[in-house]
């Protein structure tokens, strides 16, 4: 999961504690109270684990976590001097600034006017916990890092606060139960109550036809269902006095169709004629990127004409399908170009997959595979399949990113949907081609730690590219034997540099051998391959079918073969990153299916 920055508002518990020094106070900056969130893939209840093993406390321990005024990084009010974790609460002691300009804020803290605390943090890892059918799951942050603490007026977690002791009566302390079942029951009751609160508020808001932002605000402020209903009623009364506006509500199925039509229209604008326009796409074929963002906002029931271009982009990225639309267009363009490339290197190497990034070994047959007579009552002899420690491949990850920024949208820069995907697709193809062909051109070592083409392998010659030369290399390969001492498969491909392309094609297509003016015995004997990756104009090769014999091997991650594309939205700078990556490796597992000749 990508690292994202969140800001979490909390509700005061009406307690303040001021130390004798006068400029220190204690806060509870995080508890394990579930907070409802709207995610890109699903809605969920976020829980910050208040377990020390789940918190990156380096900033806290080094005293570099600031106290800010409502998350304003340019307005520091103090600094955290120490922290502790007790009873599933994260607590901190804060030294408040002595600057005169902040005296009013300090007095409001003393007077109990400012009570709410918020923490800004990075989540590095969530644990997804299922709550049952029909309920949103828990996302428990089991690797997170506090960045800053703020005084803020907007609450959501009513257990986090500035702490105060105003009575001499000792508060009731509930000790953790030793009964694990009881602890789970208590946690379940808390989660169930929070889910019910959110569900009831959403149902009430939906019946009253309240918009999503208003509903989310009711939930995040921690209102009870009674308080939420009162605000909904007041909002309805306010709306009844305003002119009626017909708002378009889009169903999930309609939303999918609309997004598909927008994607097609966007690709058509970026590269006219590259995709056929479906009926609904004609409605969007002249829209700019900013127009698309406004449409996405309007479809949520909001009014995009109230916002500046900058605000339109910000809202479209944070609360609509706009990032999905952009990603779909970039991904489809990348795959269109990538899938349209004729990869000659895939013809001469065997494809395999690996389940992970650990080293994978190939297999060999131990003993002869020749069928033997089985007399009545006799036993079948095993042909053991063994793992070869010499045949190895290990995946590595390679990739690039196409970023759609706020500036891209406002400037209506369409190159990001056509030219950049084309360049990236061909870059991915060329990267893999260079890796595979370099095994041949650089004479990489085979699994026996000897160069692929070597006298010991009996596959290195000095013959011209003619009928006799082809026959000599073909004979040599057919005389090779596999590990089982059985003949190897005959060569299939004649591979030449582009300088020898015409000569090779004539030899394999002409009915008459030009040198002796008789029948061409090599006609249609091989499939020609010419490639610019072969830079020596005086070298040519024969290669067997890689699917029938080991030779060159390339591997992808299982389930993600080829170029894999995924998206990542960055809410800090309102941008979409479309990452194209390849989990790939290639190597030589056997030398017997290749021969090489240099022209004398």
Query: Do the bridges between strand 552-557 and strand 349-354 make them parallel or antiparallel, or are there none, so unpaired?
Result: parallel
Separation of alpha carbons 492 and 529, rounded Å: 10
Pick out the chain residues at pLDDT < 70.
1-22, 38-41, 132-134, 153-192, 240-253, 357-393, 482-488, 512-517, 571, 600
Residue 17 is predicted with a pLDDT of 55
Residue 5 is predicted with a pLDDT of 43
Dihedral sign, Cα of residue 89, residue 90, residue 93, residue 97: negative
Q: Are 394 and 360 spatial neighbours (Cβ–Cβ below 8 Å)?
A: yes
Residue whose structure tokens are 């095993």: 382
Q: Are 126 and 45 spatial neighbours (Cβ–Cβ below 8 Å)?
A: no
Residue 530 is predicted with a pLDDT of 93
Residue 292 is predicted with a pLDDT of 92
Residue 496 is predicted with a pLDDT of 94
Residue whose structure tokens are 């082809």: 470
Neighbours of 155 (CB within 10 A): 21
Residue 483 is predicted with a pLDDT of 61
Separation of alpha carbons 76 and 275, rounded Å: 53
Query: Do the bridges between strand 575-588 and strand 396-404 make them parallel or antiparallel, or are there none, so unpaired?
Result: antiparallel
Dihedral sign, Cα of residue 303, residue 306, residue 312, residue 318: negative
**Torsion angles phi and psi, residue 190, rounded to 5:** -65, -50
Q: Are 81 and 93 spatial neighbours (Cβ–Cβ below 8 Å)?
A: yes
Sketch out the chain's domains with CATH numbers.
4-162 (no CATH), 180-240 (no CATH), 252-338 (no CATH), 343-372+381-413+426-600 (3.90.1690)
584 contact partners, CB below 8 Å, separation of at least 6:
395, 396, 398, 432, 435, 554, 555, 556
Name the strand (E) or helix (H) holding 21.
Answer: none
Residue 9 is predicted with a pLDDT of 39
Closest CA to 1 of 174, 131, 162, 127: 127
Separation of alpha carbons 14 and 19, rounded Å: 17
pTM: 0.53
Q: Are 3 and 62 spatial neighbours (Cβ–Cβ below 8 Å)?
A: no
Residue 240 is predicted with a pLDDT of 61
Residue 202 is predicted with a pLDDT of 77
Residue 74 is predicted with a pLDDT of 79
> E strands of 341-383, at which residues?
349-354, 360-366
Residue 73 is predicted with a pLDDT of 76
Give the tokens for residue 489.
Answer: 């498969």
Separation of alpha carbons 347 and 527, rounded Å: 10
**Torsion angles phi and psi, residue 298, rounded to 5:** -60, -35
Name the strand (E) or helix (H) holding 6.
Answer: strand 4-9
Residue 128 is predicted with a pLDDT of 85
Separation of alpha carbons 9 and 33, rounded Å: 12
Q: Are 571 and 4 spatial neighbours (Cβ–Cβ below 8 Å)?
A: yes
Residue 155 is predicted with a pLDDT of 46
Neighbours of 550 (CB within 10 A): 23
Q: Are 341 and 429 spatial neighbours (Cβ–Cβ below 8 Å)?
A: yes
What angle (nearest 5°) sits at the alpha carbon of residue 241, between those of residues 239 and 242?
65
Please report how many Cα atoms fall inside a 13 Å half-sphere around the Cα of residue 321, on the Cβ side: 20
Residue 70 is predicted with a pLDDT of 79
Q: Are 452 and 440 spatial neighbours (Cβ–Cβ below 8 Å)?
A: yes
Give the tokens for residue 475.
Answer: 């004979």
Q: Are 592 and 539 spatial neighbours (Cβ–Cβ below 8 Å)?
A: no
Give the tokens for residue 269.
Answer: 């604008």
Residue 184 is predicted with a pLDDT of 47
Q: How distant, in Å, are the alpha carbons of 259, 268, 287, 304, 577 from that of 263?
A: 6, 9, 11, 20, 17
**Torsion angles phi and psi, residue 341, rounded to 5:** -85, 130
478 contact partners, CB below 8 Å, separation of at least 6:
487, 488, 490
Q: How distant, in Å, are the alpha carbons of 22, 101, 421 from that of 97?
A: 11, 9, 52
Helix H segments across 400-463?
Answer: 406-410, 419-441
């Amino acid at each position: 999961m990508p690292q994202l920055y969140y800001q979490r508002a909390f509700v005061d518990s009406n307690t303040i504690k001021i130390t004798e020094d006068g400029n220190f106070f204690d806060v509870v900056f995080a508890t394990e109270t579930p907070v409802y969130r709207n995610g890109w893939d699903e809605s969920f209840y976020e829980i910050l684990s208040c377990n020390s093993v789940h918190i990156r406390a380096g900033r806290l321990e080094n005293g570099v976590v600031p106290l800010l005024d409502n998350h304003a990084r340019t307005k520091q009010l103090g600094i955290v001097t120490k922290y502790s974790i007790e009873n599933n609460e994260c607590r901190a002691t804060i030294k408040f600034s002595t600057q005169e300009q902040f005296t009013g804020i300090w007095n409001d803290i003393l007077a109990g006017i400012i009570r709410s605390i918020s923490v800004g943090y990075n989540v590095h890892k969530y644990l997804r916990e299922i709550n049952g059918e029909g309920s949103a799951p828990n996302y428990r942050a089991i690797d997170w890092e506090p960045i800053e603490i703020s005084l803020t007026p907007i609450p959501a977690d009513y257990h986090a606060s500035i702490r105060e002791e105003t009575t001499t009566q000792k508060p009731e302390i509930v000790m953790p139960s030793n009964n694990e079942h009881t602890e789970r029951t208590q946690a379940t009751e808390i989660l169930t109550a929070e889910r019910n609160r959110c569900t009831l508020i959403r149902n009430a808001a939906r019946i009253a036809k309240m918009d999503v932002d208003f509903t989310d605000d009711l939930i995040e402020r921690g209102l009870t269902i009674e308080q939420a209903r009162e605000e909904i009623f007041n909002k309805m009364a306010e709306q009844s006095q305003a002119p009626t506006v017909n708002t378009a509500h889009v169903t999930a199925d309609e939303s999918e169709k609309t997004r598909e039509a927008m994607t097609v229209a966007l690709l058509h604008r970026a590269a006219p004629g590259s995709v056929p326009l479906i009926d609904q796409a004609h409605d969007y074929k002249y829209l700019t990127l900013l127009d698309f963002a406004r449409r996405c906002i309007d479809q949520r029931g909001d009014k995009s004409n109230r916002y500046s271009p900058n605000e339109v982009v910000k809202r479209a990225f944070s609360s609509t399908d706009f990032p999905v639309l952009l990603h779909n267009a970039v991904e489809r363009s990348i795959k269109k170009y990538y899938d349209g490339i004729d990869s000659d290197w895939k013809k001469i190497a065997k494809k395999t997959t690996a389940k992970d990034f650990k080293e994978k070994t190939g297999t060999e047959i131990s003993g002869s595979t020749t069928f033997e007579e089985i007399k009545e009552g006799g036993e079948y002899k095993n042909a053991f399949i063994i793992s070869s420690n010499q045949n190895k491949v290990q995946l590595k990850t390679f990739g690039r990113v196409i970023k759609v920024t706020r500036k891209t949208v406002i400037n209506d820069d369409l190159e990001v949907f056509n030219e950049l995907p084309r360049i990236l697709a061909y870059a991915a193809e060329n990267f893999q081609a260079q890796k595979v062909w370099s095994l041949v051109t650089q004479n990489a070592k085979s699994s026996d730690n000897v160069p692929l083409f070597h006298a010991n392998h009996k596959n290195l010659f000095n013959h011209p590219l003619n009928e006799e030369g082809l026959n000599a290399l073909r004979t040599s390969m057919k005389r090779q034997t596999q590990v089982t001492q059985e003949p190897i498969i005959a060569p299939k491909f004649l591979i030449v540099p582009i300088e020898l392309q015409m000569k090779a094609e004539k030899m394999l297509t002409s009915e008459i051998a030009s040198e002796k003016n008789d029948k061409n015995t090599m006609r249609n004997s091989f499939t020609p391959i010419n490639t610019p990756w072969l830079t020596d104009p005086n070298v040519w090769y024969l290669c067997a079918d890689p699917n029938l014999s080991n030779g060159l091997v390339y591997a992808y991650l299982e389930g993600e073969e080829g170029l894999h594309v995924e998206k990542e939205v960055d809410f800090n700078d309102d941008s979409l990153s479309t990452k194209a990556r390849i989990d790939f490796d290639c190597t030589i597992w056997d030398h017997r299916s290749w021969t090489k000749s240099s022209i004398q």
